[in-house]
Amino acid sequence: MSNLSVKKIDDETLARLRKLAARHGVSMEEEIRRIIKEAVSGPERLGDLALEVFGPDHGVELSLRKHKSHDPVDLSK
Would residue 42 count as lying in a domain?
Answer: yes
Q: Per-residue pLDDT tens for 41-70? A: 876 788 777 777 777 777 666 677 888 888
Would residue 16 count as lying in a domain?
Answer: yes
Would residue 65 count as lying in a domain?
Answer: no
First to last CA, the chain: 65
Indicate the residue type of 25: G
pTM of full prediction above 0.85:
no
Would residue 64 count as lying in a domain?
Answer: no
Percent helix, strand, coil in the chain, to 5, is 45, 0, 55
Would residue 39 count as lying in a domain?
Answer: yes
The pLDDT of residue 36: 93
Give the range of the structural domain holding residue 36, as residue numbers without chain letter: 11-54
Nearest C-alpha neighbor of 17 from the set 41, 4, 36, 1:
36
Number of structural domains the chain divides into: 1
Task: Give the separation between CA 3 and CA 64, rounded to whole angstroms.
Answer: 55
Would residue 66 count as lying in a domain?
Answer: no
Would residue 77 count as lying in a domain?
Answer: no
Would residue 19 count as lying in a domain?
Answer: yes
